[in-house]
Amino acid sequence: GENVEQHPSTLSVQEGDSAVIKCTYSDSASNYFPWYKQELGKRPQLIIDIRSNVGEKKDQRIAVTLNKTAKHFSLHITETQPEDSAVYFCAASAVSNYQLIWGAGTKLIIKP
């Protein structure tokens, strides 16, 4: 079945710098890749998603890139701010049903 690996598990960056989180997936038929942000004690919230018919999508300071050949996708956050501190989860669509296969999460720490 589908498997999603997410790296790094923890990422610490200086405020104002960029952060990149990468996920790899195993099933080449997966075609939907969302990213969720979970602040401490809160629900996971969708921040951006991409479908396999595009290679990149941007929304203000966040962007996601998809490399279907290499089977990996990445979240890019530019000009990081303290409120970006959270755990970020990637996911990939399961081919056989409507489910999502989740990465293990990345704890992003923004240093002042």
Partner 1 sequence: GAGVSQSPSNKVTEKGKDVELRCDPISGHTALYWYRQRLGQGLEFLIYFQGNSAPDKSGLPSDRFSAERTGESVSTLTIQRTQQEDSAVYLCASSRQGFNQPQHFGDGTRLSIL
Residues at the contact surface with partner 1, assessed by CB under 8 A: 31-32, 34, 42-46, 49, 51, 89, 93, 97-100, 102-105
Shortest separation between residue 78's beta carbon and partner 1, angstroms: 23
Residue 44: cis peptide before it, omega within 30 degrees of 0:
no
Shortest separation between residue 11's beta carbon and partner 1, angstroms: 16
CB contact burial 26-54 (16+ within 10 A = b; e otherwise): ebeebeebbbbbeeeeeebeebbebebee
Shortest separation between residue 19's beta carbon and partner 1, angstroms: 19
- Cβ distance to partner 1 smaller for residue 2 or 65: 2
Shortest separation between residue 41's beta carbon and partner 1, angstroms: 9
- Cβ distance to partner 1 smaller for residue 16 or 35: 35
Dihedral class, residue 60 (left if φ above 0, else alpha if ψ from -120 to 50, else beta): left
Report the sign of the C-alpha dihedral through residues 60, 107, 38, 49, in that order: positive
- Cβ distance to partner 1 smaller for residue 19 or 100: 100
